[in-house]
């Protein structure tokens, strides 16, 4: 029983550390996002469409939204298509990248 408790604690901490995502890896993975979700210094490729800028957005919100698009609990054909091929790690990396842009004007 004690061994089980220790293993659960170790795995729990390992999972929470992993969930932070890697902003450096996310920068490369987010290239397809930038055309619509412009960041400072990068204009939206489709200015007639209202899409949120993701720079500075909470990573947990971005991951949650991407998971909802992937599972089709949130509807938008383009976003569902984009999220369909993303792994959880990809989502976390992309989210960490956009969250890291919060201090850019």
The residue length of the chain stands at 105
Structure-model confidence comparison of residues 84 and 20, the more confident one = 84
What is the dotted CATH code of the domain comprising 21-103? 1.10.760.10
Comparing 49 with 79, which gets the higher pLDDT?
A: 79
pTM across the whole model: 0.73
pLDDT in tens, 20-69: 899 999 999 999 998 888 766 555 566 666 788 899 999 999 999 999 99
Q: Identify the pLDDT of residue 17.
A: 41
Domain range summary for the chain, segments of one domain joined by +:
21-103
pLDDT of residue 14: 46
Proportion of the chain above pLDDT 90, given as a percent: 55
């Amino acid at each position: 029983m004690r061994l089980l408790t220790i293993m659960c604690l170790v795995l729990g901490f390992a999972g929470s550390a992993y969930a932070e995502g890697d902003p450096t890896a996310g920068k490369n993975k987010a290239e397809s996002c930038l055309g619509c979700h412009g960041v400072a210094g990068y204009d939206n490729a489709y200015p007639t469409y209202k899409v949120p800028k993701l720079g500075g957005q909470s990573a947990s919100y971005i991951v949650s939204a991407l998971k909802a698009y992937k599972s089709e609990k949130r509807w938008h054909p383009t976003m569902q298509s984009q999220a369909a091929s993303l792994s959880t790690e990809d989502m976390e990396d992309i989210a960490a990248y956009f969250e890291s842009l919060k201090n850019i004007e």
